[in-house]
Amino acid sequence: MIVHFTSREFRSQQAHVFELADQGQKVIIRRNKKQAYMLVPVGDEDLTITPELQAKIDKAREEYHQHETLGFDTPEALNSWLESL
pLDDT of residue 45: 81
Please tell me whether residues 8 and 22 are part of one structural domain: yes
Torsion of CA 50, 51, 53, 58, to 10 degrees: 140
Using a 10 angstrom Cβ sphere, with 0-12 exposed, 13-18 middle and 19 or more buried, the burial of residue 39 is: middle
pLDDT of residue 39: 96
Higher pLDDT, 16 or 32: 16
**Chain segment 40-70, per-residue pLDDT in tens:** 999 888 889 989 999 999 999 999 999 999 9
Residue 73, by phi and psi: left (phi above 0), alpha (psi -120 to 50) or beta? Answer: alpha
pLDDT of residue 43: 87
Please tell me whether residues 31 and 49 are part of one structural domain: no
Q: What is the pTM of this model?
A: 0.56
Q: Could you list the residue range(s) of the whole structural domain that residue 13 is in?
A: 2-39
- Nearest residue to 22 (alpha-carbon basis) of 1, 39, 47: 39
The number of domains in the chain is: 2
Average pLDDT over residues 7-14: 96
Please tell me whether residues 18 and 48 are part of one structural domain: no
Average pLDDT over residues 25-39: 94
Please tell me whether residues 9 and 24 are part of one structural domain: yes
